[in-house]
């Protein structure tokens, strides 16, 4: 595999409804796309969203990392296999996990195309189909009950609710969601909002009320692994680490200490599929189930996550509703979304044939 060209472009996709969390509101996706071409003419694609609050990356930093460091490490060199190509990326820059993830998935895309295999087959097989949960946007309880009823009527059976803004309002929202969806699996994500003791108290209250919460994501501050461990040991609701786990080293530390019951893998946090595979190996050793999640991403990087989830049985939960939140899909091929069902074709690589409306940056 010899990379002969790299192009960068912006992908914009409007959201159906503005996406609101306690921290921000946004009406569209605007992500960096990388296209690598090898000497055989195969085009590999990758995507990186700017998530300054999580990975510290902006569109400007992603472009600078790809153009100034990662691109030069890949261009014109002949790689005998993926290991060598992956080392070139990891040797070119530290941090910048989303920029590295985008370049890496473009390389995997080319590598799998050259093997004539869809990526999920290359990574271990599986069925090429799975189901995702859906996030009910944070709103007034009545609005959330309506949105929940709509999601259930559209076939979703697993709902994710962002909490952490205000304990009383959170409870009112969860009551509204639960009464609109008595049978649904409800998982909540506190995005670091609580102290450890507060988390245990609130989770006890939720379960005592019969809200039937399946799991809570990231109840405490990302760096507070002691606190995470305290909640895991004392809460009636299983705990999932999200912002606390970026790297495979983070994963092993959390698993060894039993600081969480589950972990949430995102390609943009861990730096790409290779580190995601390392985290999955650790999870298999420690018997920890994984969720695969995404940022606000379009169907390039989410397709990479779908391939991974299809290939690995340690990924038992799927939170990949990014493309389903967009009002149009500029990506041709890749993972196909219809309601909660996500399916892959047997097209080689990521399976993406083209992307409409890209704004090239060269
Ligand atoms: Mg989360």
Active-site residue set? 162, 266
State the distance from the centre of ligand 1 to the C-alpha of 288, rounded, in angstroms: 17
Asked if 267 and 301 touch (Cβ cutoff 8 Å), the reply is: yes
| Distance between first and last Cα of the chain | 24
Is 288 found in the same domain as 207? yes
How far, in Å, CA of 38 to CA of 89, rounded? 16
**110 with 160, same domain?**
no
- Within a domain: 345: yes
pLDDT at residue 177, as a whole number: 98
Q: Which of 64, 99, 116 is the last residue of a domain?
A: 116
Cα separation, 135 vs 158, whole angstroms: 9
Same domain, 45 and 166: no
Shared-domain flag, residues 137 and 267: yes
Q: Could you tell me if 3 and 37 are in contact, meaning their C-beta atoms sit under 8 angstroms apart?
A: yes
> Is residue 362 domain-resident?
no
CA distance linking residue 31 with residue 54, whole number of Å: 15
Together in a domain, 174 and 226: yes
The answer as to whether 67 is a domain residue is yes
In a domain, 126, yes or no: yes
Neighbours of 214 (CB within 10 A): 17
Backbone angles phi, psi at 258, to 5 degrees: 45, 50
Are residues 293 and 164 both part of a single domain? yes
Residue 69 domain-assigned?
yes
Check whether residue 32 and residue 127 sit in a common domain. Answer: no
CA of 217 to the centre of ligand 1 (A): 6
Please give the C-alpha separations between residue 11 and each of 106, 148, 237, 320, in angstroms, as whole numbers.
15, 30, 38, 18
Tell me, yes or no, whether 149 and 68 share the same domain. no
Tell me, yes or no, whether 167 lies in a domain: yes
Distance 294 CA to ligand 1 centre (A): 9
Nearest-angstrom CA–CA distance, 239 and 215: 6
What's the domain count of the chain? Answer: 2
Q: Provide the domain limits for residue 207.
A: 121-355
* DSSP-based three-state secondary structure for 121: helix
- How many angstroms does the Cα of residue 191 sit away from the middle of ligand 1? 6
What is the distance in A from the centroid of ligand 1 to the CA of 216? 9
Q: From 144, 109, 158, 126, select the one nearest 341 (Cα to Cα).
A: 158
Using alpha carbons, select from 336, 332, 317 the residue that is nearest to residue 217: 317
Residue 6 CA to ligand 1 center (angstroms) comes to: 32
- Let me know: does 311 contact 282? Beta carbons within 8 Å: no
139 and 110 both lie in a single domain: no
Distance CA 13, CA 297 (A): 9
**Domain co-membership, 83 together with 139:** no
Distance 319 CA to ligand 1 centre (A): 9
Q: What is the CATH number of the domain that holds 163?
A: 3.20.20.120
Q: Cβ(132)–Cβ(338) under 8 Å?
A: no
- Does residue 335 form part of some domain? yes
pLDDT of residue 193: 95
Q: Which of 256, 186, 236, 187 is nearest to 216 (CA)?
A: 187
Q: What is the pLDDT of residue 126?
A: 84
340 CA → ligand 1 middle, Å: 19
Domain end residue (candidates: 85, 116, 147):
116
CA 171 – CA 240 distance, rounded (Å):
20
Q: Could you tell me if residue 360 is inside a domain?
A: no
List, for the chain, all residue ranges whose pLDDT scores fall below the cut of 50: none
Task: Check whether residue 166 and residue 209 sit in a common domain.
Answer: yes
Q: Check: CB of residue 245 under 8 Å from CB of residue 292.
A: no
Last residue in a domain, options 100, 116, 132: 116
Kindly report the pTM of this predicted structure. 0.95
- Considering only CA atoms, which of 105, 104, 42 is closest in space to residue 73? 104
CATH code for the domain in which residue 85 is found:
3.30.390.10
* Residue from 340, 337, 333, 315 nearest 123 by CA: 315
Burial class (CB in 10 A: 0-12, 13-18, 19+), 356: exposed
Same-domain pairing of 31 and 159: no
């Amino acid at each position: 595999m010899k990379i002969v060209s790299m192009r960068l472009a912006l992908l914009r996709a409007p959201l159906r409804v503005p996406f609101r969390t306690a921290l921000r509101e946004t009406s569209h996706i605007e992500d960096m796309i990388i296209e690598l071409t090898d000497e055989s003419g195969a085009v590999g694609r990758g995507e990186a969203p700017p998530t300054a609050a999580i990975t510290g990356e902006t569109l400007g930093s992603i472009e600078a990392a790809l153009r100034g460091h990662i691109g030069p490490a890949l261009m014109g060199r002949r790689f005998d296999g993926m290991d060598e190509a992956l080392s070139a990326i990891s040797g070119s820059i530290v941090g910048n996990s989303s920029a590295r993830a985008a370049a890496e998935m473009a390389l995997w895309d080319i590598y799998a195309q050259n093997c004539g295999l869809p990526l999920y087959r290359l990574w271990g097989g599986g069925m090429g189909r799975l189901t995702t949960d859906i996030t009910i946007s944070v709103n007034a309880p009545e609005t959330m009950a309506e949105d929940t009823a709509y999601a259930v009527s559209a076939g979703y059976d697993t709902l994710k609710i962002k909490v952490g803004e205000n304990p009383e309002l959170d409870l009112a929202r969860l009551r509204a969601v639960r009464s609109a969806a008595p049978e649904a699996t409800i998982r909540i994500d506190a995005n670091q909002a609580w102290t450890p003791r507060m988390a245990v108290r609130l989770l006890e209250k939720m379960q005592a009320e019969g809200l039937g919460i399946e799991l809570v994501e990231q109840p405490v501050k990302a760096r507070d692994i002691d606190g995470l461990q305290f909640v895991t040991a004392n809460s009636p609701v299983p705990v999932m680490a999200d912002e606390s786990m970026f790297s495979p080293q983070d994963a092993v530390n959390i698993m060894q200490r039993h600081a969480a019951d589950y972990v949430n893998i995102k390609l943009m946090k861990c730096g790409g599929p290779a580190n995601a595979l390392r985290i999955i190996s650790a999870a298999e050793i420690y018997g920890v189930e994984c969720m695969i999640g995404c940022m606000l991403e379009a169907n390039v990087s989410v397709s990479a996550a779908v391939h991974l989830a299809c290939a690995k049985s340690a990924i038992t939960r799927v939170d990949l509703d990014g493309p389903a939140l967009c009002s149009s899909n500029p990506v041709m091929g890749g993972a196909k979304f219809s309601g909660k069902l996500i399916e892959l074709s047997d097209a080689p690589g990521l399976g993406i044939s083209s992307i409409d409306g890209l704004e090239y940056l060269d």
